[in-house]
Amino acid sequence: MNPTDLIYLDNAATSWPKPPEVAQAMLHSMQQVGANPGRSGHRLSIEAARIVYEAREAVAALFHAPDPLRVVFTANVTQALNLALHGWLRPGDHVVTSGMEHNAVMRPLRALEANGVQVSVVPCSAQGLLDPADVQAALRPNTALVVLNHASNVCGTLLPVGEVGQIARRRGIPFVVDAAQTGGAFPLDMQALGIDMLAFTGHKSMLGPMGTGGLVLGPGVDVERLAPQWQGGTGSRSESEKQPIALPDKYESGTSNAVGIAGLGAAVRWVMAQGVDTIRAHEVALCQQMLDGLLAISGVQVYGPHDAARQTATVSFNIIGMTPSDVGLRLDDEYGVLCRVGLHCAPAAHRTLGTFPGGVVRFGLGVFNTSEQVAAAVAAVSALAREVRP
C-alpha cells in the first residue's frame, strides 16, 4: 500500500506528515550552514546561532513566555521533565501529581521518592478528570512542586491546569506542566495559566522533528535553585571549569541538535501561521466525529470524557472480545489504519481508567487528518466489532 493511502492515526506518538517547511529548514541547515552554533566566530557559526535563537523566539511566542533565553532546548520532553524534577526537588521536599501521568513524570518521581522526596498522587475519575480541590487538599507545608500533564496521552482528557496553576501560585509553589500532548494543538499561555515550567516535545503537535524538545522557564523560576543535570562545554566562559550560570547555557551543555532545532523553528512558525485556535477547532471537529462514530458501535468501549471539548484529539477504545494487539494488527494489515495499542508508557493512567494491564487501542488524530479518514477508520472498527457480535 502506498504511504499516501494509509490513514495515519498515531499522532499522539509522533505527528506525520510534517509541513514541508520543516524538511526544507533542516536541509538548509545541513547543506548551507552546517557549523556549530555558538562555538566559533565565523559567519556560518553565527548563522547557525541565529537559526537556533529564532527557534527560541518562536517557542517563546507560542507559549507566551516573555524571555526567549529561558527556552532551554533538550532532546525531548522526558529530558525536560527530568531537568525540572531532579533539578528542583531535594530530599524532604513534597511534590503533588495526578493519577493520569506518563512515566516521563512517574519514573523520575519514583526515583526521587527512593531518595527522600515525598510524592502524593491525586486520584482522578474513571474518565481521567481531576478535581482541582483535590490538588489543593493534597498540599503540605513542605510542598515544593506541583506537576501535571496538560492532557493524557492515553485518552486525551484535559486536566485543569489553569485552576491548579492559580492554586499553586497563591501558595507560592512552582507549577510544572507536561505539555507533550497539547503544545501546538491547544492554546497555551504560561503567564495566564500560572505555569512556571512548561515541558514540551517538538515532534508531536508542534510538528517538528524527533530529537527536539525543551523546558520553558517562567520569570519567577529561581535558576539558582534549579540545578543542571549535565555539565560541560557551552561555548561560553570557556576559561572556567565551572558551569556557567547564564541562561540558557547553564542547562545546554554539549553541541546542540542544530539541524533538528532548525526544523522545530520552522514547524512552530507554521503552526502559528495557521493559528493554534484554528488547529484546535479542526481537531475538535474530527475528535467529536470519531467519538460519535465509535460510541455508536455495539461492543466497542470508549474511554475518557466522550466530549471533544474536554480532551485532545486522542481517542482510546477496546473491542470487547478482541485484544488491543489483534485490533491494531488487523487495522493495519486489512484497512491501512495505523494506530498504537498497549499501555502507552502510562500505567498510572491505565489503572485510573481501569484498562491495566490489557491496555487499549489509541487513535491519535492530528492537523492533517480529514473527516473522510475518520469515517473510514470508524467503518473499519465497526467491521471488526461485527465479527465478535454479528
| Each residue's pLDDT expressed in tens, for the chain with a length of 390 residues | 666 789 999 999 999 999 999 999 999 999 999 999 988 999 999 999 999 999 999 999 999 999 999 999 999 999 999 999 999 999 999 999 999 999 999 999 999 999 999 999 999 999 999 999 999 999 999 999 999 999 999 999 999 999 999 999 999 999 999 999 999 999 999 999 999 999 999 999 999 999 999 999 999 999 999 999 999 999 888 999 999 999 999 999 999 999 999 999 999 999 999 999 999 999 999 999 999 999 999 999 999 999 999 999 999 999 999 999 999 999 999 999 999 999 999 999 999 999 999 999 999 999 999 999 999 999 999 999 999 976
User: Mean pLDDT across the chain, nearest whole number?
Assistant: 97
* Distance of alpha carbon 366 from alpha carbon 282, whole angstroms: 9
Helix locations, the chain, DSSP H: 20-28, 43-62, 77-88, 103-113, 132-138, 161-171, 190-193, 258-274, 276-295, 324-335, 347-353, 371-388
Q: What is the pLDDT of residue 38?
A: 87
Q: Is 345 a catalytic residue?
A: yes
3-state secondary structure of 338: strand
Number of Cβ atoms within 10 Å of the Cβ of 52:
23
Scan for cell 503533588, then name that residue.
96
Residues 6+ apart with CB under 8 A from 263: 18, 22, 23, 25, 26, 29, 202, 208, 209, 212
Confirm or reject CATH 3.90.1150.10 for domain 3-18+275-388, answering yes or no.
yes
Enter the DSSP assignment of 72.
Answer: E
For residue 1, the model assigns a pLDDT of: 61
pLDDT of residue 348: 97
Query: Using CA atoms, how far apart are residues 227 and 251, in angstroms rounded to an integer?
Result: 8
The residue ranges of every structural domain in the chain are 3-18+275-388, 20-274
Options 1.25.40.10, 2.40.170.20, 3.40.640.10, 3.10.105.10; CATH for 20-274 is 3.40.640.10
